[in-house]
Amino acid sequence: MGKKALALILILTILFAFGCTRKEDKGRNSNENMDNGSVIEENGVIEDEEEVDEIQEIIDNMTLEEKIGQLFIFGIDGIEIDEQIIELIQKYKVGGFIFFGDNIDTIEQAIKLLNDIKKENGNNPLPLFLAIDEEGGQVTRLADIFPSLPDAGRIGNINEKEISYEFGKLIGQRLKTIGFNMDFAPVLDINSNPNNPVIGNRAFGSNKEVVIDNGIEVMKGINSENIISIVKHFPGHGDTTVDSHIDLPIIAKSLEELKGLELAPFERAIEEEVDGIMIAHILFHELDNKYPATLSQNIITHLLREDLAYDGVVISDDMTMGAIMENYTVEEAALRFFQAGGDIALICHGYENMTSAFNRVKEEVYGGNLQIEEINQKVYRIISLKRKYNLADVLVEEYNIEEVNEKIESFLNKIK
């Protein structure tokens, strides 16, 4: 073998050895980066292998009391902050409050009340839901502050999507001006029973398509002002002859019948990514012959969650209504609601009702009858909703009620 051949073999051997070393080093660097959760791409950019789940991190750092508190929206008494409100915030870590006409006097008073509550919640890890029933018509809590808006029946009679959207937007502007962030509206019930004592003109009409077309636009209008819209009353309150504020209504319709009418607006709302659905205190005998919808796993979990594929926030109607209190204790009902798949129990009246429900849930978690994993799933949905709307306990410092009122008057003139 000549000298040139030997030299060539030597060069090739060196190059091969150097290449193997670089491959080993590259492999070792890749493994090291995999250990810390990153990978090096071919362009040299370092990317995270897994995204951090910020909501889960929040939940992991919450106490049990903070988690349970998020499962409730409570009512208050009076027109100013008091010791009970402070205790509900500080001790019970409540997730939100609902306000009624008795809590609203003047624009200045209402803003101060909400601001004081927000200040008190400042040290808690999550902002509050500040909710109200503002539907228009007779169901309004702000009649002494803003001009009256028509009821949903009037909007349904007009039956123009642009009008319905503007109607919802004006509702949202009224609430945003004061500092609210959640509205238990619109009603998606179909007023199919002329003897119904509680729905009537609160519904957009007796026609399924009219309710769908106008109800969804009102929902979108409310949302456009960064106000959370909670539609109600699933699976449908339109065909009752009993007011659930007084006693328990019973509906004997089959699932097929409900799908043909009552469920249709809620199905469309789910398709439109509705933020929250309120459950009615009604016994649907063919779906669950023991429990009303609010307490029924068949209705909340199997029908709403599984069959209709809804994974948003589920809120109960007020647990202090006659349909519940004539048949259950509030704490029993709240527990059953959570076990059935609900997320937020609404308890509007009675400080003892609120604290006993909170304590009962806590006892059942410790007793193993309510799993912490279930609590975490509920809290995850709740935090997701609060983050979707970028909720924060920001104080209202400036407001222009005249501008809102001018828009309302212009709208009212338009629909005369």
Residues 6+ apart with CB under 8 A from 401: 107, 145, 146, 177
Asked if 235 and 253 touch (Cβ cutoff 8 Å), the reply is: no
- CA nearest neighbour of 319 among 271, 368, 288, 352: 352
For helices 107-120 and 83-90, what crossing angle results, to 10°? Answer: 40
Report pLDDT digits (tens) over 109-155: 999 999 999 999 999 999 999 999 999 999 999 988 999 999 999 99
Fold of 54-406: TIM Barrel (3.20.20)
Six-digit token string for 85: 């409100």
Six-digit token string for 378: 């509920």
What is the CA 241 to chain-centroid distance, rounded? 29
Kind and range of the H or E run holding 242:
none
Instruction: Name the DSSP class of 80.
Output: S
Q: Is the pLDDT of residue 41 over 60?
A: no
Burial pattern 294-330, b for ≥16 Cβ within 10 A else e, equals bbbbbbbbbbbbeebebebbbbbbbbbbebbbebbeb
CA atoms of 54 and 68, how far apart (whole Å): 19
Asked if 384 and 107 touch (Cβ cutoff 8 Å), the reply is: no
**Which residues form the catalytic set?**
245, 317
**Which residue is listed with tokens 């909501």?**
55
Report pLDDT digits (tens) over 177-211: 999 999 999 999 999 888 777 788 999 999 999 99
Q: Is the pLDDT of residue 328 over 50?
A: yes
pTM recorded for the entire structure: 0.87
Burial class (CB in 10 A: 0-12, 13-18, 19+), 222: buried
Report pLDDT digits (tens) over 366-403: 999 999 999 999 999 999 999 999 999 999 999 999 99
- CA nearest neighbour of 166 among 403, 400, 414: 414
pLDDT score recorded for residue 282: 94
CA atoms of 171 and 169, how far apart (whole Å): 5
- Domain segments of the chain as ranges: 3-48, 54-406
Report pLDDT digits (tens) over 277-310: 999 999 999 999 999 999 999 999 999 999 999 9
Q: Is the pLDDT of residue 357 over 60?
A: yes
Q: Is the pLDDT of residue 35 over 70?
A: no
